[in-house]
């Protein structure tokens, strides 16, 4: 089995993941994950503001549940033809099980549906696992933001262009066929 095939088929635990719009009732579980994965977690008020902006079409936030338990969440800011991914977080006990890949696929399908042609994000220079995930989705390094994070760690700015193309849709279908099917894109 090729490396790509192994990466694509590691998601058995992600099966049964229900991807839903983020709601207020998710905030308690989100805060638990926020405090586990981020040195400076977002407050509930930040999430409330982001959800209000989502109602206006300026943001999109999603959560992943399995068996009633929050597994992870993700969000992005929509500006003209670009979508800036603001966060993707998975319960640390559930990492490397395909959850982040499913959430990222959902973000990408949503951005395409909103007419975006590009996705961008920042990632810690030390977060090699996340960079690998982003590469699977077609992201490439575009620059560095020196001392971007609270501990002065640099951020790699990554971009994925032409997400509106048929080729990119095919990539998304390959990476997460179940997300494509749920969204009517299979």
**Digitized pLDDT (tens) for each residue of the chain, 186 residues in all:** 344 444 444 444 456 889 999 999 999 999 999 999 998 999 999 999 999 999 999 999 999 999 999 999 999 999 999 999 999 999 999 888 899 999 999 999 999 999 999 999 999 999 999 999 999 999 999 999 998 998 999 999 999 999 999 999 999 999 999 888 888 887
Q: Is residue 128 part of a domain?
A: yes
Q: Is residue 139 part of a domain?
A: yes
Q: Is residue 186 part of a domain?
A: no
Q: Is residue 185 part of a domain?
A: no
Q: Which of 60, 61, 73, 134 is labelled catalytic?
A: 134
DSSP H or E stretch at residue 96: none
Q: Can you give the residue range of the structural domain that contains 101? A: 3-179
Q: Which of 50, 73, 122, 168 is labelled catalytic?
A: 122
DSSP H or E stretch at residue 159: strand 155-161
The number of folded domains in the chain is 1
CATH of the domain at 17: 3.40.630.30
pTM of the model: 0.90
Catalytic site residue 149?
A: no
Catalytic site residue 150?
A: no
């Amino acid at each position: 089995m090729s490396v790509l095939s192994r990466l694509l088929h590691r998601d058995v635990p992600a099966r049964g993941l229900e991807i839903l719009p983020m709601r207020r009732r998710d905030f308690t579980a989100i805060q638990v994950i926020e405090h586990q994965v981020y040195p400076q977690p977002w407050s509930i008020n930040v999430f409330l503001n982001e959800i209000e902006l989502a109602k206006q079409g300026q943001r999109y936030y999603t959560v992943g549940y399995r068996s009633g338990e929050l597994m992870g969440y993700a969000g992005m800011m929509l500006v003209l033809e670009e979508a800036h991914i603001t966060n993707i977080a998975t319960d640390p006990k559930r990492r490397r099980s395909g959850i982040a890949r499913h959430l990222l696929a959902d973000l990408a399908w949503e951005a395409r549906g909103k007419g975006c042609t590009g996705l961008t994000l920042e990632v810690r220079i030390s977060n090699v696992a996340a960079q690998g995930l982003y590469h699977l989705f077609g992201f490439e390094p575009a620059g560095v933001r020196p001392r971007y994070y609270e501990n002065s760690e640099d951020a790699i700015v990554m971009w994925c262009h032409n997400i509106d193309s048929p080729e990119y849709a095919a990539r998304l279908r390959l990476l997460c066929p179940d997300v494509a099917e749920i969204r009517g894109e299979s």
